[in-house]
Structure 1
C-alpha cells in the first residue's frame, strides 16, 4: 500500500526532501520559491531555463539550479552563459526518442539516489500545447519504472500523479485542497477501480474513455483510498497562499 500526501509540499513547514524539475511553460514565482526552499536538487530542461531566468528578474543569483539538461534548441545563449558562470552543470541530451522532461527526470533520479529525496516536483508542466501536456503525462508512465517515489506535475492550481496498480492512500488534509479531484484512465482501460473518501465512490467499477471517467469528483473525507488494477491518473486542485513561500524563505 502506498501513502501519499500530495499537497504537503506547499505547506510552510514542508520538509526539505524534494527534487525539483522545471519545464518550459510559464512559472508561478511564489510556488517556485517554495519549491526551491524545500528541494535538495534542482534541475531545469532546455527552454525552462529561459523561464527561470525571467521569472526572477533581478534576483536570478538567488535561485540557481544544480543542473540544466536538454538538446538546447530553445535555451538562449546569454541565459546559458549566465548559469554557466554560476557553476551550474550543463548536460547535453540530444536523444530525440525521449522528451527533454523524460531525459531530465532520469538524470535527476540518478543524481539524487544518495540523497533523502522522497518526491519529485515538476513545475511548468501543464497548459499550453496539448501535445506537450500529454507528453508530460506519458512521462509519468515511464516514471513509475524509473523511481518508486511519487512524481507530481504541478501547475496553475492543478496537481497530477500516476497511481500504480494496487492500493494508494491519499491524504487530503493540508487545508490547501481545492474542492475538486478526478481519476482519469490514461493509457489503458482500468477494469477494477474501488475508492473511499470521495463524494462519488467507485466499487469495483471500470474506467475507460468512451465509458465512465471520474471527473469533477470531490471529497467526503480527508483520506481517500484508490485501488486499481492498472495505472490511473489522479488529479486534484490546490489553493496556494503566498504566505507559505514567505514563511519558508
Structure 2
C-alpha cells in the first residue's frame, strides 16, 4: 500500500473528527508529514513486534578468537569504506545490505544446517543472546553461521517534502485496520491530550484487531517455516 493511501485512511477515518495533522481540505498537511510518519513508524514497529510479519536472515563469519557478535550494520561488509579501518566486518551482506531491522533473534544455525540451542545453560554449546541484537558463543568456531530473526519494517523518512505516492508500506492488507488504530492512538494521545478516552479506545481497537488476526490464523503463509531448506537457500 502507498503511504498516500494510508494517509487517506487516517484523514477520512480516525482523524476526520480531529485537527491533528489535518489541513483545511481534510487531508494530511504537508507540514505535519513528520508528525504523522513518526507515529506510523511507531505503529509499524509495534505491529511487527506483536505479529510475525517479516523474517530476516544474516550470514555471520565467526572465529575462535571472538565469542560475542553484535548484529549491527557497523560490522556489515556492505558498509566497508574504500580504505581499511580495522573494523571486523563479520556480517556478510554484500548482496543484501543489512538494515538494522532485528526485533528478536529466532535461530542460529551452523554450517551443517544444525540449530544451536538458544539461552540454555544446561547445553554445553548453547548460544546466548545477551541483547536483542547480540549472539554469544560458548565455543566459537571458524565458520559462517546463519542467524534468522523477526524483522521490523524499514523506517519511513521524516520529511515535510516526502512524496507519499512513492513510498510503500509493506504489510498485508488484513493488518491495515490495526495499523490505522495504533497510529490514531499515538497521534491523538500525543497531540490532543483532552481526548485521552478516545485515544484509549483506539488502542483497545488495535489490540482487538491483532487478536482477530491471530485467531483467524492469517499468518501461517506469511513466514516460511524454520527449516534446513530455508537456511540452505539463503534467500539469494
TM-score, normalised by the number of residues in structure 1? 0.25
- Structure with the largest fraction of helix: 2
- Structure with the largest fraction of strand: 1
Higher relative contact order (Cα pairs below 8 Å, separated by 6+ residues): 2
